[in-house]
Chains A and B, each alone.
Chain A
Amino acid sequence: KAGVTQTPRYLIKTRGQQVTLSCSPISGHRSVSWYQQTPGQGLQFLFEYFSETQRNKGNFPGRFSGRQFSNSRSEMNVSTLELGDSALYLCASSNAGTGMGPNTEAFFGQGTRLTVV
């Protein structure tokens, strides 16, 4: 089956701009999580959406937001970009914690490499 698809793969933005990243989960998966990875901070959890509702949230400022559509596809938005937002943004889909049985594996996409200049 098709894996997790993230678009675009690479993005260059200017400080102050906003950006929207997209994630298409594995078919049938209802949970979509977003992560930021930087050399300094490692992999950090941003938020998780399940059935179009944000279910878990990490410790990031309000400039980072997301949403999930009825087909489980998700987008994350970063407004007023800062240089420090340059990172690899990863999306993961899963059915863990959804009451759909012992599906405990999170599948990650290839990520979107965001560079803020």
Chain B
Amino acid sequence: LAKTTQPISMDSYEGQEVNITCSHNNIATNDYITWYQQFPSQGPRFIIQGYKTKVTNEVASLFIPADRKSSTLSLPRVSLSDTAVYYCLVGDPFSGGYNKLIFGAGTRLAVHP
């Protein structure tokens, strides 16, 4: 699985848009990009996944440039409850090795009032 690099921490304020960028220079052709959110003492929760261009769901957007060497998770109008650790992962979900998820340190997002 490709290695990813994210900022260790970020700070924001309620109501702002937060963009977290992940670098994955060695992403393979069949790899998808997936983001998870984790609150303290809970298991990670799937946020969004994409392969290329832009993906949007009810909680976030994922922007992937044409070269796919990076991706940006965008959280619109964050609230205090978005304070969590965000992980970026890459892998081929159709591969038998996909479920060996390799989590980096993640980005610790702190949202302030």
Within 8 A of B (CB), among A71-117: 88, 90-92, 94, 96-97, 99, 102-111, 113
Count how many chain B residues have C-beta atoms less than 8 Å from C-beta atoms of the other chain.
Answer: 25
Bound Cα distance A88, B38 (Å): 13
Q: Of the candidates A48, A88, A90, which one forms a contact with B99 in the assembled complex, judged by CB atoms under 8 Å apart? A: A48
Interface SS majority for chain B: loop
Q: Is A108 within 8 A of B98, CB to CB? A: no
Q: Of the candidates B42, B95, B105, which one forms a contact with A97 in the assembled complex, judged by CB atoms under 8 Å apart? A: B95
Could you write out 18 A-B pairs with CB less than 8 Å apart? A33-B101, A42-B106, A43-B87, A45-B100, A45-B103, A50-B99, A55-B99, A56-B99, A56-B100, A88-B41, A90-B43, A92-B43, A96-B93, A97-B97, A104-B34, A106-B46, A106-B101, A108-B44
Which 7 A-B pairs rank lowest in CB-CB distance, beginning with the nearest? Answer: A108-B43, A104-B93, A43-B103, A97-B98, A56-B100, A96-B93, A105-B46
